[in-house]
Amino acid sequence: MCGRVLDTTAHTLVMGALNVTPDSFSGDGRYADLGSAVTRGLEMLDEGADLVDVGGESTRPGAEPVAAEEELRRVIPVVRGLVAAGAVVSIDTAKAEVAAAALRAGAAVVNDVTALGDPAMAKVVAAAGAGLVLLHMQGTPRTMQEDPRYEDVVAEVARFLAGRAAAAQAAGVDPARLCLDPGIGFGKALEHNLALLRGIRDLVDLGYPVLVGASRKRFLAGILGPIPPGERDAATSAAHVLAIAGGAAVIRVHNVVVGLQTARVADAIVRAVPARG
């Protein structure tokens, strides 16, 4: 992903989602202390994750913002611990201040769900030569699922992401280090998520690697009925396989073992990547 930071050309990358928050939606926000967060991140690496995405502010629908000091307190020791163990780390933050501290601590990628909502973000990323994930969201986490509306969701998301990619480059971010994300579940009703997954090729055609994060999200229960997040891994795989078939280069998952199997089998079929076993 993101050019020389990680290579998306050989195989689909698996990003492990490590939420260092007390309130994540996926049922895995249990890594609220430093030791267990680092342990889980290292386990993700052992399981084959290409990078670990460390987040200290929940973006689940309805989530309240977290102050920078608190976010820093949660994530920086975890980033340090994982980098020291050799991990490629991305920092899931919307705050330039948190991104800058995480990059100083050794993170290689900034995963910004507000796509440069903080005007200082692009410069921070450019100065560090880091990778940057730009995600589409309608509204803010607190309100985004209230009544999301689009005329043509795929075209609108593509236009937005192309504009944000241009803004990042204008601020000095290397285009080879950009990655785009349709933002599954970020201000989208079920039909919008499905249209984006169906139309992922239109985003891939913008010319940047595309990351898809469908892991355990609510839209899966919208299709299947009220199954809890921890039981949505097979459903997650179905969505990720089709995203990979549409050209997605990175999947963001909570269950790395399942994510890796998903990516490897999809790659063997779609990209004709040789089998390893």
- Active site positions, annotated: 217, 252
Q: Sign of dihedral through CA atoms 217, 248, 273, 1? A: negative
Q: How far is the CB of 272 from ligand HH2 (least distance, A)?
A: 27
CB closer to ligand HH2 out of 89 and 133: 133
What are phi and psi for residue 181, nearest 5 degrees? -140, 125
Q: Binding to ligand HH2 by residue 58, rule CB under 6 A?
A: yes
Closest CA to 19 of 11, 10, 28: 28
Under 8 Å between Cβ of 81 and 36: no
User: Which residue from 11, 60, 74, 164 is in contact with ligand HH2, where contact means CB under 6 A?
Assistant: 60
Q: How far is the CB of 275 from ligand HH2 (least distance, A)?
A: 29
Torsion angles phi and psi, residue 208, rounded to 5: -120, 155
The span of 16-24, 73-81, 219-227, 262-270 binding ligand HH2 (CB under 6 A) equals 16-24
208 binds ligand HH2 (CB under 6 A): no
Q: How far is the CB of 253 from ligand HH2 (least distance, A)?
A: 9
The CA angle 50-56-61, to the nearest 5 degrees, is 100
> Is there binding between residue 192 and ligand HH2 (CB under 6 A)?
no
Q: Please name which of 63, 99, 68, 89 lies closest in space to residue 186, comparing C-alpha atoms.
A: 63
Q: Mask 146-175, x = binds ligand HH2 (CB under 6 A)? A: ------------------------------
User: What's the CA gap between 118 and 115, in Å, rounded?
Assistant: 8
Residues of the shown chain interacting with ligand HH2 in the complex, contacts defined by CB under 6 A: 17, 19, 21, 24-26, 55, 58-60, 92, 111, 113, 133, 135, 181, 184, 211, 213, 252
